[in-house]
Amino acid sequence: MKARPAAPSQRSAYADELLALVLDILDDSKASDVVPISLAGKSSIADFMVIASGTSSRQVASIAGNLMERIKAAGFGLCRVEGQQQGDWVIVDAGDVIVHVFRPEVRDFYNLEKLWSVVIPSDYEADSARRAS
């Protein structure tokens, strides 16, 4: 198993390598609408989140299974998984990379891309700055 480096600069290389592997697996598994999101400065839960879609519950579960098997085989260790039995929304937690695989309708409903890319409007920032002074 690959050792997870403790130093932040080394950890980035580890996370980048894991992200590249995840993206390759999703491509090989025919996942669609793959969106990687950097969580740097947004959350400490992981370095990256990846959102992808499968065409059916069966494909969503299959993509999650492929991710778990190939991440382990590549030496990154075991992943935690939730939702694989139902196949509507599966979360594969590989540590530095968390992967959400959805059926398209479920993905549209939750719209995680929008949730993680919220930009604070400039008028809100100005109000906040005035209150702080």
- Asked whether residue 125 carries a pLDDT value surpassing 70, the answer given is no
Q: What is the pTM of this model?
A: 0.79
Q: Are 92 and 98 in contact (CB under 8 A)?
A: yes
- Asked whether residue 52 carries a pLDDT value surpassing 60, the answer given is yes
Question: What does the mean pLDDT of the chain come to?
Answer: 84
Alpha-carbon distance of 58 to 87, in angstroms, equals 6
Q: What is the mean pLDDT of residues 14-30?
A: 96
What backbone phi and psi angles, to 5 degrees, belong to 105? -65, -40
Please, what is the angle between helix 57-73 and helix 8-28, to 10°?
A: 140
Reported as type and span, the H/E element at residue 97 is strand 97-102
